[in-house]
Structure 1
Amino acid sequence: MIKVERKGENEFLVVVEEGGSKTEHIVTLDQKYYEQLTGGTITKEKLVEESFKFLLEREPKESILRRFNLKVINRYFPEYEETISRKIRH
């Protein structure tokens, strides 16, 4: 289960519970990057949630950074932006 809670305008607490344990992550999201990926078609919370689904398909929750800006995902997974944009916009 992925729970996303807004902590500020561009900061979110993400709790991932799976397999009897949980991890917590602080994620920041720049307005410009949010608009680039979504065109404003979904909430920031939904983008963060979908981004964690993307990450969890590729690595265990314990491997996800504890604090990061959403833009960092594309450095580790170059297909991220295209995959997320396609999923959200269609």
Structure 2
Amino acid sequence: MRYSRDRIRNISRNIIKNLEINQLVDFLVSRDILLSEIESVIDDYFKINSQAYEAALEEIKKKKKLMAGSIEWDITFNQIYEQELNKRLLK
């Protein structure tokens, strides 16, 4: 899934606003810097998610016995996808 730049910026602003309202943190940097960092983290997450999805597709294509659309295919794909996502997120 991919969000537009505007959508990511809106999500980032909402995160900052909720942190301010709930007084969960004290900001030591400017709001613009914080907004930029949050946007970067969200964008990086979507890139990692996309890479994991593509890697899972490549891996499952190697398994000749699985038929696309079957329950076994879905289960195997989800397992591989979760493994790939965890590998990339823990780096």
TM-score (norm 2): 0.30
Q: Larger % of strand: which? A: 1
For the pair shown, the structure with the greater C-alpha radius of gyration is 2
